[in-house]
C-alpha cells in the first residue's frame, strides 16, 4: 500500500484495511463465530416470521405492529451488514477490506443503529398515546403519519451520518496503521487509525450520538414516566396490569439497546480501563442481540403474534 515517511515515522495512505476481529481472542475466534452464526440465523428466521405474520394478518395492520415490522426490517439489514464479514474474519481469516467498502459498512451500521433508535422512540410514543389518550390514538397515528415517521427516522440517521463518512474521506489522508482492532468498521475504530488531528471527527461523532441516541433516550424516558403516572391512576387493577404488561417488552428492549450502546460509545471516546476484548465483544453483542431478542420478546409478550405463530406451526404440522 502507498506509504510515506514523516517526522513521526511511517504513515499510510491505505486502499486496504485489516480487521483483526476480537483483540486478544484471535486464537479462539473460530469458536466464538459459532454462537454468533447461531444468533444471526435465529435473528433472520425470527424477524422474517414476524414480517410474514404481520403482513398476512390484517388484524395486525396497526401502528404498534407496523413499527415492529419496521424494526424487523432494520434488524435484518443491520445484522447482515455485520455478520457475513465478521464470520469471514473469524473462520476464513479473510481480514482485508477495501477502504471505501469499510467506510460504507461504517455508514450503514451507524445509520441502521439510528433508524432502530428512532423506531424505538416511535413505539414509545405510540404506547404513550394508546394508554394516556386512547380515544385520539386512531386519529393521531394515521397511515400517513406512520409513513412520515418511517421516512423521517431513515433520513435523519442517513443524513446525520453522511458527514462522518465525508470527514474521514476528505480530512484524513494519512494513517499510522491499517489494522483495525475491531471485528467491523466502527466510526471511532477507523478514526483512531489516523496520523492527523481527529478532533473535528470526534466532535462530530459526539454531536451525532447525542442528536440521535441522546435525544431519543430523553423522549423515551419522558414517555414512560408519563405512562407510569397514568397507569397508577387507573381505577381497575386489571387495567393497570394490562398496561404494564404492554410496556414490559418495550422497556426490556429499550434498556438492552441503549445501555450497551452508551457503554460502547463512552469506552471508545474516554478510554475507560476495560480490556479491548471485553469492549469488542460487548460491541458485537450490542448490535447482534437486539435482532435476536426483538422477535422473541415481542412474540412472547404479544398475544396476537403468539396466536399467529401457533396457527402457523399447527398448519405446517398438518400439511
Q: What is the pLDDT of residues 48-102, one digit of tens each?
A: 989 988 898 888 888 988 999 999 999 999 999 999 999 999 999 999 999 999 9
Residue with cell 486464537: 27
Q: Which residues does residue 179 pair with via DSSP β-bridges, in sequence order?
A: 18
Would you kindly state where each structural domain of the chain is located, as residue ranges? 16-317
Q: Residue 149: which pLDDT band, with cuts at 50, 70 and 90?
A: very high
CA distance 2 to 4: 7
Q: Residue 118: which pLDDT band, with cuts at 50, 70 and 90?
A: very high
Q: What is the DSSP letter of 186?
A: -
Q: Which residues does residue 19 pair with via DSSP β-bridges, in sequence order?
A: 180
Q: Residue 241: which pLDDT band, with cuts at 50, 70 and 90?
A: confident
Among the listed residues 300, 296, 319, the one whose alpha carbon sits nearest the alpha carbon of residue 43: 296
Mean pLDDT confidence for 221-241: 79
Q: Residue 5: which pLDDT band, with cuts at 50, 70 and 90?
A: very low
Prediction pTM value: 0.91
pLDDT at position 19 is 96
Q: Residue 173: which pLDDT band, with cuts at 50, 70 and 90?
A: confident
Q: Which residue has the higher pLDDT, 117 or 314?
A: 117
Q: What is the pLDDT of residues 190-226, one digit of tens each?
A: 999 998 899 999 999 989 988 998 899 999 989 888 8
Backbone conformation region of residue 160, classed left if phi is above 0, alpha if psi is from -120 to 50, else beta: alpha
pLDDT at position 248 is 74
Q: What is the DSSP letter of 26?
A: G
Q: Residue 268: which pLDDT band, with cuts at 50, 70 and 90?
A: low
pLDDT at position 316 is 59
Among 1.20.1070.10, 3.30.70.520, 3.20.20.70, 3.30.2320.80, name the CATH number for the domain at 16-317.
Answer: 1.20.1070.10
Among the listed residues 82, 158, 77, 81, the one whose alpha carbon sits nearest the alpha carbon of residue 114: 158
Mean pLDDT of the chain: 86
Mean pLDDT confidence for 297-319: 71
The three grid cell numbers given for residue 188, joined into one nine-digit string:
471511532
CB 19 within 8 A of CB 184: yes
CA distance 226 to 16: 50
42 has a pLDDT exceeding 70: yes
> Residue ranges of the alpha helices (H) in the chain?
29-56, 63-92, 99-132, 137-140, 143-171, 187-191, 199-209, 215-232, 237-270, 276-301, 303-318
Q: Are strands 9-12 and 96-98 parallel, antiparallel or unpaired?
A: unpaired
Name the 3-class secondary structure at 22. coil
Q: Residue 269: which pLDDT band, with cuts at 50, 70 and 90?
A: low
Amino acid at each position: 500500500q502507498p506509504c510515506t515517511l514523516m517526522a513521526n515515522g511511517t504513515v499510510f495512505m491505505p486502499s486496504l484495511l485489516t480487521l483483526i476481529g476480537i483483540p486478544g481472542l484471535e486464537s479462539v475466534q473460530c469458536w466464538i463465530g459459532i454462537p454468533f452464526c447461531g444468533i444471526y440465523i435465529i435473528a433472520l428466521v425470527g424477524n422474517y416470521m414476524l414480517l410474514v405474520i404481520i403482513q398476512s394478518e390484517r388484524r395486525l395492520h396497526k401502528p404498534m405492529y407496523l413499527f415492529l415490522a419496521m424494526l424487523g426490517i432494520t434488524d435484518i439489514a443491520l445484522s447482515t451488514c455485520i455478520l457475513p464479514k465478521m464470520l469471514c474474519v473469524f473462520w476464513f481469516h479473510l481480514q482485508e477490506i477495501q477502504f471505501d467498502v469499510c467506510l460504507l459498512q461504517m455508514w450503514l451500521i451507524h445509520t441502521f443503529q439510528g433508524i432502530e433508535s428512532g423506531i424505538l422512540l416511535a413505539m414509545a410514543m405510540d404506547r404513550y398515546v394508546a394508554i394516556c389518550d386512547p380515544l385520539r390514538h386512531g386519529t393521531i397515528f394515521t397511515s400517513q403519519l406512520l409513513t412520515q415517521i418511517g421516512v423521517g427516522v431513515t433520513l435523519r440517521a442517513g443524513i446525520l451520518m453522511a458527514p462522518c463518512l465525508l470527514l474521514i474521506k476528505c480530512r484524513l489522508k494519512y494513517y499510522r496503521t491499517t489494522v483495525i482492532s475491531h471485528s467491523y468498521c466502527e466510526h471511532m475504530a477507523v478514526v483512531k487509525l489516523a496520523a492527523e488531528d481527529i478532533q473535528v471527527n470526534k466532535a462530530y461523532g459526539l454531536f451525532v450520538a447525542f442528536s440521535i441516541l441522546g435525544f431519543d433516550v430523553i423522549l423515551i424516558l419522558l414517555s414512560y414516566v408519563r405512562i407510569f403516572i397514568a397507569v397508577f391512576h387507573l381505577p381497575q387493577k386489571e387495567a393497570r396490569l394490562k398496561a404494564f404488561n404492554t410496556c414490559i417488552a418495550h422497556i426490556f428492549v429499550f434498556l438492552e439497546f441503549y445501555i450497551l450502546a452508551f457503554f460502547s460509545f463512552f469506552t471508545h471516546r474516554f478510554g475507560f480501563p476495560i480490556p479491548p476484548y471485553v469492549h469488542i465483544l460487548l460491541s458485537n453483542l450490542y448490535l447482534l442481540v437486539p435482532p435476536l431478542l426483538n422477535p422473541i420478546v415481542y412474540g412472547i409478550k404479544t398475544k396476537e403474534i403468539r396466536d399467529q405463530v401457533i396457527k402457523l406451526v399447527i398448519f405446517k404440522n398438518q400439511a
